[in-house]
Structure 1
C-alpha cells in the first residue's frame, strides 16, 4: 500500500472497493422478501390508531360525539385533539436566521378548527385497523364551515380572511435580495425576455408509506419508537422535547425503509399523535398511513408562481436577472425545517452557474387552506433551474443563437474558482465548461442538430434540451443549526473489530434504498484492508449509533462516508 504524499487521502490499493461497482449487501435479502419494515413489527398489547380527518379545508369544530365509537367492538379508546393537546407541547416551524418568519403553534390533532382537508381531528385506538376504521365512521362532528384561502395570489389581499387569528395576515415569510443596478441593465439591454412559470404541487409516492410504532414502557419510563424516517436522532430530540422527556429515555429505531425521497425527514402531526397516545395509554400504538392519507398529509412541494425577466446583450451576455416568486405552503410552516427553505433556495440558486452582475429577487411565502408543503428532493433546485434555463433559452431564440453558445458565454470559467455567486454562494472546484464539453461529446450534439434540421423539413419536430444548474449537497449548519433546529450537520462513525476479523461500522445516517450501506462498506473495507464481505454496517438506532443528521441532501456518502 502506498499513500501519495500530495494527497494523504488517496490510497494506491489495487484491491480498493472504492470506485468499483459492487453488489448491494442487502439486495438479496430484500428480494427474498426478508426486509424488516415497521409494519412487520408485532408487539404485545399493541393498538392501531385510526384518525377521523376533516372533510373540509377550513372549518370550526363545534362539537364531537364519540359515544358510538367508544362502544364499538375492538375499540379501546377515543381521543379528541383537545384531549391529546393536554399531553404534549405544540411546535412552531420557524428558524431564527429566516428573519421575520412566523407560524402558529401546531398540535398533534386539530383542537378548535381544521385548517386543511385531511387534518386529523379524532383518534380511534382499536385492536385492529379494520375495527378502528369502522368505528371512525360513527363519530359525529358538527362543523361550522369557514372561508377557504386556496389561491396563493389572493392570500395577501386585504379582503381575504386570515387563516390564523393570532397572525396579522397570511404571510409566513418574505425575502428581498438585490445586487447591482438592475433597472439600468434592463434599460440598456439589446433583448429583454419575460416568462411566467406556474409550477403545480406534487408529492412523492413511497412504496412503504409513512409508518410508526411507539412503545412507551411505564416500568422504565422509556419510549421506543420504530419509525420509517430519514433522521432518527432528529426525531429522538423532537419526541423528547415535546413530550417533556429526557432525550436519553427516548430511542428511535429505523430498520429497512421503503423509500423516502425527502418526505420522511419532517415532523408529521399524526405520527407525533401516535407517539403521544402510546405514552398516554402506556402501551404500543401503531400508525401506518394508507395511500389516501398519504396524498392528503405527506408534504407537498413546489407550489410556485414565478414572474421573471432577463436582460441580455446582443452577443448573448446576461446583463440582469429579476424575478418575483410566490410560494403557497398550506396552513402551517413544517417543523423543524420550516416551509420557507425552498423559496429561500430559489433566491440563492437561480442562475447560479452564470456570471450575473445585476440580480434582483423577491419571494413571498403564504399560508393556504391546503395540505402542508415543505422540502422534498433537490430543494429549490428544479424551480431555480426552470427560471434561469427557460429565460436563457428564450433569449437564445430571440438572438438566433445556439443554446450551447449562449450558455458557454455566461458560464463561470473553469479557472475562476474559488469564487462567489451574486447571492453569496461559495463555489469551489466546479467545472461547468468542462462538463458542458463532455456532455456535447457524449450526446453527439452537432449530429443531433443536423438530424433535427432534416427531420423538421419533413414535419417532424424533435427537441434537444440543455440545462445547467448548481446543486447544493452536504449542507453545513448554516441551513438549520444556526436557526435553532436540532438537526446535526455532522455525523460520526464507530468501528468495532471482532476476534475473527469482521468489522462492524455504526453510523448515524440511514439506508433509504440509495445504497448507503454499500458505500460505507466499500469505504471501510478499503480503508481497513478487509474483504467487503467482512464489513457490517449498522444504521438507524439512536441507542447504538453515533449522533448524526441522518440521510438527506446527498449527505450519506459525503459526510458519513468522510467520517467512515
Structure 2
C-alpha cells in the first residue's frame, strides 16, 4: 500500500481541529493537579458533616428477618442507624427501564434493601457517625437475622422450571430479549462451510483511582439539597435526586469538580448514593459516603458477563455468507438505573459482523436476572464482545477453508466508498 502525501500547504483529514492522532496533547489541568490543588469529594469537609457506612448482605439472596442495632446505637460517635424500611419514608424506589427497549422489565429497587437482600453486597442498613472509623466500629456490633434463599447464578438455567424466580411479580427471570433477522440465514448456511463456537466473557469492572464518593447537604432552612459528587452526569443526578426525594429540580444543586477517573462506571445512579442523599434529608445535616475498595468491587457496576454461541458461513473462495449469534447475559437482580442493563446486549446484536459485507444475519440476545451485583454498560459498550465474536468466527472460517486470515478479511471488508 502506497500513501501519497498531500501537496505542501494543504490540509489532510488528520489536520482537522478535532483530530489528535499523532499529536502530543498536554493536559490543561496537569499543573494544578501536580501541585496538589485538585478538588475531590473525599477532600471536602463541611460543618456538622457526618459519615455513613453501609452494612451489606453476606448472602447472594436472603430474607431480612430482623436487625438488632441496640448495642451499636449506644457506641461513641454514632448518630443514627437507619434501615431500608425507615429510609423508604424519605426516598421512593425506582425501576430501571426505558420505553424504547420494548419488553424490558425490572422490579422496584430501594436505596437500602427492604425485607430481602438480592445480592452479596446489597446494603441492609446505614450507620451514620461522626467519623468513618466510628461508623465501621459500630457496624461490627449490628446483628442481622437472615433466612438464606436459593440464589440464581447461572444464566443458562435462569428460565428452567426448577430455578426460583427472583421477583415473582415479574413472572420469570428474563429481563429483556431482542431478535434480529436479515436476509435468509438458513439458505445461506445450507450452501456454505459452517463453523460454530462458544465465546465466554467473565464479569469485570472499571477500577478508578478515586472510588465513588458523594457528600449530600440538606439545608432545612432553605429546603435545598446540595450534592457534591464525582459523576459524569451532574444534570442527571439533579433530576433523579429531585424526582425521588419529592423536590423540585430548582431545590437540588449538584457540584462536580475533579473526578478521579470514571470509565463509565460513574454515569449511573447507585443505591448507596441515593441513600446518602436521603440520609442527609432525614438527619438534616451533611452526610459523606466514600466507597472503600471492597465496596467498589461488590457494588460498582459490573459489565460484559456474556455467553455467546456464534456461527458463520463461508464459501471456498472466502466469501462470508452469514453470521448467526445467540447471546446470553446476566445482569444481577435489578436493571440499573436509569440507563438500564439491556443496552450492552442490544449493542452486541447491533455490532456483530459490523465491518464485513454480510447480507444474512440472525441474532438473539437474552438478558437474565441473577443474584449477583448489578451489571450495566461502561467504556465501549458491547464492542469487546461483538468484536471478539466477529473476529473469532472469521479466524475460524479462514482456518476451515485454509485461507490466510488477512486475505479473508480483505475479501469481505465493506469498501470505503460503499
Is TM > 0.5 for Structure 1 vs Structure 2? yes
For 1:34 and 1:398, locate their aligned partners in 2 and report how far apart those are by CA, in whole Å.
59
The answer as to 2:390 corresponding to 1:388 is: yes
The answer as to 2:152 corresponding to 1:144 is: no
Alignment of 1:506-525 (within 5 A): none
Task: For residues 295-343 of structure 1, give each alpha carbon's deviation from its aligned partner in whole angstroms, at most 9, with x where no partner exists.
Answer: 0000000000001100011111110100100000000000000000000
109, 114, 117: which one aligns with 1:114: 117
For 1:18 and 1:57, locate their aligned partners in 2 and report how far apart those are by CA, in whole Å.
47
The answer as to 2:96 corresponding to 1:93 is: yes
Partner of residue 31, structure 1: 34
- Give the Å deviation of 1:46: 0.2
For 1:327 and 1:63, locate their aligned partners in 2 and report how far apart those are by CA, in whole Å.
34
Alignment of 1:380-419 (within 5 A): 380-416=382-418
- Counterpart of 1:49 in 2: which secondary structure? strand
The answer as to 2:203 corresponding to 1:201 is: yes
347, 350, 354: which one aligns with 1:348: 350
- Counterpart of 2:178 in 1: which secondary structure? strand
For 2:147 and 2:108, locate their aligned partners in 1 and report how far apart those are by CA, in whole Å.
22
The answer as to 2:276 corresponding to 1:274 is: yes
- Counterpart of 1:264 in 2: which secondary structure? coil
Structure 1 gap segments, 5+ residues each: 1-9, 417-564
- Counterpart of 1:404 in 2: which secondary structure? helix
Higher RCO structure (Cα 8 Å, ≥6 apart): 2
Question: TM-score by structure 2 length?
Answer: 0.94
Task: For residues 125-149 of structure 1, give each alpha carbon's deviation from its aligned partner in whole angstroms, at most 9, with x where no partner exists.
Answer: 1000000000001111111000010
- Give the Å deviation of 1:18: 7.5
For 2:160 and 2:68, locate their aligned partners in 1 and report how far apart those are by CA, in whole Å.
37
In terms of mean alpha carbon deviation, does 246-255 or 400-409 score higher?
A: 400-409
Partner of residue 221, structure 1: 223
187, 191, 194: which one aligns with 2:190: 187
What is the number of residues matched between the two proteins? 402
Question: TM-score by structure 1 length?
Answer: 0.70
CA RMSD of superposed structures (Å) = 1.4
- Give the Å deviation of 1:397: 1.4
For 2:154 and 2:416, locate their aligned partners in 1 and report how far apart those are by CA, in whole Å.
44
For 2:184 and 2:153, locate their aligned partners in 1 and report how far apart those are by CA, in whole Å.
36
- Give the Å deviation of 1:234: 0.7
Q: Which runs of 4+ in 1 moved over 4 A?
A: 16-20
- Give the Å deviation of 1:17: 10
For 1:259 and 1:29, locate their aligned partners in 2 and report how far apart those are by CA, in whole Å.
16
306, 309, 317: which one aligns with 1:304: 306
- Counterpart of 2:367 in 1: which secondary structure? strand
- Give the Å deviation of 1:287: 0.2
The answer as to 2:141 corresponding to 1:135 is: no
For 1:22 and 1:319, locate their aligned partners in 2 and report how far apart those are by CA, in whole Å.
44
For 2:278 and 2:383, locate their aligned partners in 1 and report how far apart those are by CA, in whole Å.
36
Alignment of 1:455-466 (within 5 A): none
Partner of residue 329, structure 1: 331
- Counterpart of 1:302 in 2: which secondary structure? coil
For 1:210 and 1:301, locate their aligned partners in 2 and report how far apart those are by CA, in whole Å.
17
- Give the Å deviation of 1:404: 1.6
Partner of residue 267, structure 2: 265
The answer as to 2:126 corresponding to 1:123 is: yes
- Counterpart of 1:242 in 2: which secondary structure? helix
- Give the Å deviation of 1:101: 0.8
- Give the Å deviation of 1:368: 0.3
For 1:157 and 1:18, locate their aligned partners in 2 and report how far apart those are by CA, in whole Å.
51
- Give the Å deviation of 1:415: 1.0
Alignment of 1:54-65 (within 5 A): 54-65=57-68
The answer as to 2:290 corresponding to 1:284 is: no
- Counterpart of 1:300 in 2: which secondary structure? coil
For 1:362 and 1:115, locate their aligned partners in 2 and report how far apart those are by CA, in whole Å.
27
- Give the Å deviation of 1:171: 0.6
- Counterpart of 2:359 in 1: which secondary structure? coil
For 1:227 and 1:271, locate their aligned partners in 2 and report how far apart those are by CA, in whole Å.
9
For 1:29 and 1:174, locate their aligned partners in 2 and report how far apart those are by CA, in whole Å.
48
